[in-house]
């Protein structure tokens, strides 16, 4: 009997031990338990991390130097695709998913299994990826004055990005471009901070709308069909002297707060997950080293709780020449409040320098903990620990017809009609679809790369029609006109050719070549060389509408008098049918200038409200037209009304006559 009791006690003891071990195991995995609060999970994981693991989380590297072993052994927190950095040419959504999952599996094999977050520029749709829907750049979207449209574009972009396995985008750019000479002006919605504020509605589109009880400043990402967004570039990047990229913004505190800061406040209220620091300076202080603004204002005053990320090699540029004192650059940027550092290639040096700075007590451990807590907060919030691996369930969202229809809508709403007829009594638009023969001319009429602009497939954009799928304006014209109408295309016709062909009218499509960042800085703001020649040869001979494809207002004042109709189409993206939708009157023109169109570059900078304001076309200008359908309906209604009026007069006259004779 005692032996049986002994065995029973032994079994009970064993059960107790196993239960205790199980509870300990559950306790150890608390940060992996989705039932725990995000804050609890962050604290638990932080308590288990070594300095090496924490610093690894602060590092973002380019995909070209990433592999599973690097992710595992260096504890890398993030990987990105820089402009044009892709798994292979014309990579499919499945190709992207497979590459990213390979990196993620390496991260998950690290000691604590912390998933990495993959980021990419998606500034006008999923712009690095073949076959994606390319929406109009922000310069055009600002002219729509339509925050709901921005929100819908954000939602569509999120789906296309997630289709390729990516959960994080470096968008939106909420710069307030105050000088069109800046090479990034097309990334800005407007010179007016109010319009830029309104268009931050793209953030709920990308991330999802924050719940009603959300705490201010905390990041929010609403599931597997949404992405973490990034408001950029903090702060004042659109106000640099003479529009020089990465230059100095000279403005007082009140000006910074009233012009360049409002959209950041709105973005934070909407739960934006990350903020990217600008290359530029404010009154001589580089933003990547500006502790007062990054930590003092963004984090402490605006209560931003997500993470702050550097721009591409942004900390290197704190010295001149770049990287000449790299240890100082690491110290200054981390002390300023940068949490994740985009060190695309030489990440080992960054890790070594930051580790030494911490171990030497130059950078306090509290600063490292603050950075890592913010990064982990975003990762937990977006569900990355529960769903670290991408799947192919959304691949059909990439370039879907629904998204292309949305982009087409965005194009037609962004177009601004600047002139319609050489006198008000003889408007040229809308154009008739059924005529014997028309001319389409200009370098931009049949060039998908030109109409998409920079940040498309490659960093600086591309030329031609083969790098992605879309519809050029020429193709759209051929589809829009009657089958009996002959469409003749010449990119640069001479005067004699135009005169001898008896065209009913001409559509001239000219503008700027693609560019990005500093490569787009311009002191002349001239259209491509052939543009003026085409305008002169065509518009001097036949009725013409000139469509300008550009990332900003450019010099057109010398040619306006010879042009019958003038349209600012900005950088419309892949859906050229949006242009023909309004040219031929399927829809009316509704866009209004979101930035001032100057007469001469000598006037710049010139913004609405300036004392020397004397524009060619003022901020807010834009002629409107009715669609052909509405015009017909109105004419029919008027005719019916006129007939009814005549009938009433006749009947009334007859009654009066009868009454008089009676």
312-357 pLDDT, tens digit per residue, is: 999 999 999 999 999 999 999 999 999 999 999 999 999 999 999 9
Return the pLDDT at 633. 78
Catalytic residue among 198, 311, 373, 575: 311
Return the pLDDT at 639. 52
**Around 419, how many Cα atoms within 13 Å sit in the side-chain half-sphere?**
21
The residue with greater pLDDT, 3 or 590, is 590
Please name the fold of domain 36-385: TIM Barrel (3.20.20)
Find residue 567's DSSP bridge partners: 417, 547
* Helical segments of 138-285, H only: 138-141, 147-163, 193-199, 202-207, 253-255, 262-269
Return the pLDDT at 647. 44
Tell me the pLDDT band of 611, cut-offs 50, 70 and 90: very high
pTM to 2 decimals?
A: 0.93
pLDDT at 1 over 60: no
Mean pLDDT, range 97-102, rounded to an integer? 98
The string of DSSP codes covering 471-527 is: B-HHHHHHHHS-TT-EEEEESS--HHHHHHTT-S-EEEEEEPPP--GGGG--SS-PP
Between strands 248-249 and 168-169, the pairing is: unpaired
The residue with greater pLDDT, 17 or 474, is 474
pLDDT at 6 over 90: no
Tell me the pLDDT band of 23, cut-offs 50, 70 and 90: very low
pLDDT at 653 over 80: no
pLDDT at 555 over 60: yes
Mean pLDDT, range 147-168, rounded to an integer? 98
Mean pLDDT, range 363-392, rounded to an integer? 98
* 102 belongs to the catalytic site: no
**Around 215, how many Cα atoms within 13 Å sit in the side-chain half-sphere?**
8
Return the pLDDT at 28. 64
In three-state secondary structure terms, 547 is strand
* 581 belongs to the catalytic site: no
Return the pLDDT at 661. 39
In three-state secondary structure terms, 68 is helix
Return the pLDDT at 319. 96
Catalytic residue among 517, 521, 575, 581: 517
218-265 pLDDT, tens digit per residue, is: 999 999 999 999 999 999 999 999 999 999 999 999 999 999 999 999
As a CATH number, domain 407-624 is 3.40.50.1700
Crossing angle of the two packed helices 38-48 and 365-381, in degrees rounded to 10: 130
Tell me the pLDDT band of 643, cut-offs 50, 70 and 90: low
Mean pLDDT, range 653-662, rounded to an integer? 38
The string of DSSP codes covering 376-431 is: HHHHHHTTTTT--S--STTGGGTT-HHHHHHHHHHHHHH-EEEEESSSTTS--PSP
Return the pLDDT at 638. 57
Burial 322-339, CB ≥16 within 10 A → b, else e? eeeebeebbbbbbbbbbb
In three-state secondary structure terms, 279 is coil
């Amino acid at each position: 009997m005692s032996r049986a009791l002994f065995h029973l006690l032994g079994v009970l003891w064993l059960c107790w031990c196993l239960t205790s071990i199980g509870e300990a195991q559950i306790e150890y995995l608390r940060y992996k338990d989705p039932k725990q609060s995000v804050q609890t999970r962050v604290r638990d994981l932080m308590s288990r991390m070594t300095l090496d693991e924490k610093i690894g989380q602060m590092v973002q590297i380019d995909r070209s130097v990433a592999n599973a072993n690097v992710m595992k052994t260096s504890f890398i927190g993030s990987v990105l695709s820089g402009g044009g950095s892709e798994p292979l040419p014309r990579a499919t959504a499945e190709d992207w998913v497979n590459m990213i999952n390979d990196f993620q599996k390496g991260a998950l094999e690290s000691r604590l299994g912390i998933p990495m977050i993959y980021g990419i520029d998606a500034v006008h749709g999923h712009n690095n990826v073949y076959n994606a829907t390319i929406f109009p750049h922000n310069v055009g979207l600002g002219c729509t004055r339509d925050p709901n449209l921005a929100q819908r574009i954000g939602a569509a972009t999120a789906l296309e990005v997630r289709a390729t396995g990516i959960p994080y985008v470096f968008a939106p750019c909420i710069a307030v471009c105050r000088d069109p000479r800046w090479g990034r002006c097309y990334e800005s919605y407007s010179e007016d901070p109010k319009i830029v504020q309104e268009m931050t509605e793209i953030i709920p589109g990308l991330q999802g709308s924050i719940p009603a009880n959300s705490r201010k400043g905390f990041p929010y990402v609403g599931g597997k069909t949404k992405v973490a967004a990034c408001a950029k570039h903090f702060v004042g990047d659109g106000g640099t002297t003479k529009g020089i990229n990465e230059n100095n913004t000279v403005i007082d505190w009140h000006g910074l707060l009233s012009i360049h800061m409002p959209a950041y406040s709105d973005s934070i209220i909407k739960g934006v997950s990350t903020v990217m620091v600008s290359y530029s300076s404010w009154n001589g202080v580089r933003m990547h080293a500006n502790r007062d603004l990054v930590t003092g204002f963004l984090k402490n005053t605006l209560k931003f709780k997500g993470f702050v990320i550097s721009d591409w090699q942004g900390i290197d540029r704190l010295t001149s020449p770049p990287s000449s004192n790299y240890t100082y650059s690491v110290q200054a940027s981390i002390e300023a409040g940068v949490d994740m550092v985009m060190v695309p290639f030489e990440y080992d040096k960054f890790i070594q320098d930051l580790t030494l700075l911490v171990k030497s007590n130059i950078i306090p451990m509290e600063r490292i903990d603050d950075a890592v807590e913010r990064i982990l907060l975003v990762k937990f919030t977006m569900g990355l620990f529960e769903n670290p691996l991408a799947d192919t369930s959304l691949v059909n969202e990439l370039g879907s017809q629904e998204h292309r229809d949305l982009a087409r809508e965005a194009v037609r709403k962004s177009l601004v009609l600047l002139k319609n007829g050489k006198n008000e009594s003889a408007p040229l638009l809308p154009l008739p679809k059924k005529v014997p023969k028309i001319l389409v001319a200009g370098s931009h009429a049949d060039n998908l790369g030109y109409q998409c602009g920079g940040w498309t497939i490659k960093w600086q954009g591309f030329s031609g029609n083969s790098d992605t799928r879309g519809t050029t304006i020429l193709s759209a014209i051929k589809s829009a006109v009657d089958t009996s109408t002959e469409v003749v295309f010449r990119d640069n016709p001479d005067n004699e050719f135009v005169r001898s062909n008896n065209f009913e009218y001409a559509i001239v499509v000219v503008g700027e070549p693609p560019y990005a960042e500093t490569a787009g800085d311009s002191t002349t703001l001239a259209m491509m060389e052939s543009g003026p020649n085409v305008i002169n040869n065509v518009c001097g001979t036949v009725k013409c509408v000139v469509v300008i494809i550009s990332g900003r207002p450019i010099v057109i004042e010398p040619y306006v008098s010879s042009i019958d109709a003038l349209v600012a189409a900005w950088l419309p993206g892949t859906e050229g049918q949006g242009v023909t939708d309004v040219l031929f009157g399927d829809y009316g023109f509704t866009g209004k200038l979101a930035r001032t169109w100057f007469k001469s570059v000598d006037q710049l900078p010139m913004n609405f409200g300036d004392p020397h304001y004397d524009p060619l076309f003022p901020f807010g200008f834009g002629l409107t037209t009715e669609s052909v359908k509405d015009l017909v309906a109105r004419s029919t209604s008027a005719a019916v009304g006129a007939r009814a009026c005549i009938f009433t007069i006749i009947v009334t006259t007859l009654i009066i006559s009868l009454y008089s004779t009676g």
